[in-house]
Amino acid sequence: CLYLLGLILGWMGVNEHSFIAVKPDGVHRRLVGEIIRRFEKKGFRLVGMKLVQASEDLLREHYWDLRDKPFFNGLVRYMSSGPIVAMVWQGLDVVKMSRKMLGETNPADSLPGTIRGDYCMEVGRNVIHGSDSVESAQREISLWFRQNELQCWEDSSGHWIYE
């Protein structure tokens, strides 16, 4: 599968992958379809998706770099409080582009037209998570997905999206 080879070789460009998760507040507010629509309209390819109730252990590992922050335990409790839609998207500069689509972590700093700018009011309920680097994406994808849960498929619209 090109995806797995890409993880090993650290490919960039068209074969770049990002981990995106609709958080419990986004699922409960029924924003999943709108978020998927935005990524599809942008031209990214969905290669993995599942609805999960994440364990605290998984979330502590996922947010390991925030473990010393005062909000860490509250974040883990909140993220384990309801279902999460975990996704892997593929495309050219998908990590960088998806971060722009999400908006700033603090919705008050997010521009209208971004997901957080359009749907969020507070940092603690900011609807969505997105990998902040290619390396983070690789680590996060490996935490949330087994290799047989990721699909390798050719998108027939690719020549309409990429030169």
Residues catalogued as catalytic: 129
Rounded (10°) CA dihedral 101, 107, 110, 112: 80
The answer to whether the annotation marks 39 as part of a ligand binding site is no
The answer to whether the annotation marks 71 as part of a ligand binding site is yes
The answer to whether the annotation marks 23 as part of a ligand binding site is yes
> What are the E-state strand segments in 1-127?
17-22, 45-52, 84-90
The answer to whether the annotation marks 125 as part of a ligand binding site is no
The answer to whether the annotation marks 19 as part of a ligand binding site is no
- Dihedral sign, CA of 8, 64, 133, 87? positive
Number of H helices and number of E strands within the chain?
9, 4
The answer to whether the annotation marks 99 as part of a ligand binding site is yes
Please report, in range form, the residues annotated as the binding site.
Answer: 23, 71, 99, 105, 116, 126
Please report, in range form, the residues annotated as the binding site for ATP.
Answer: 23, 71, 99, 105, 116, 126
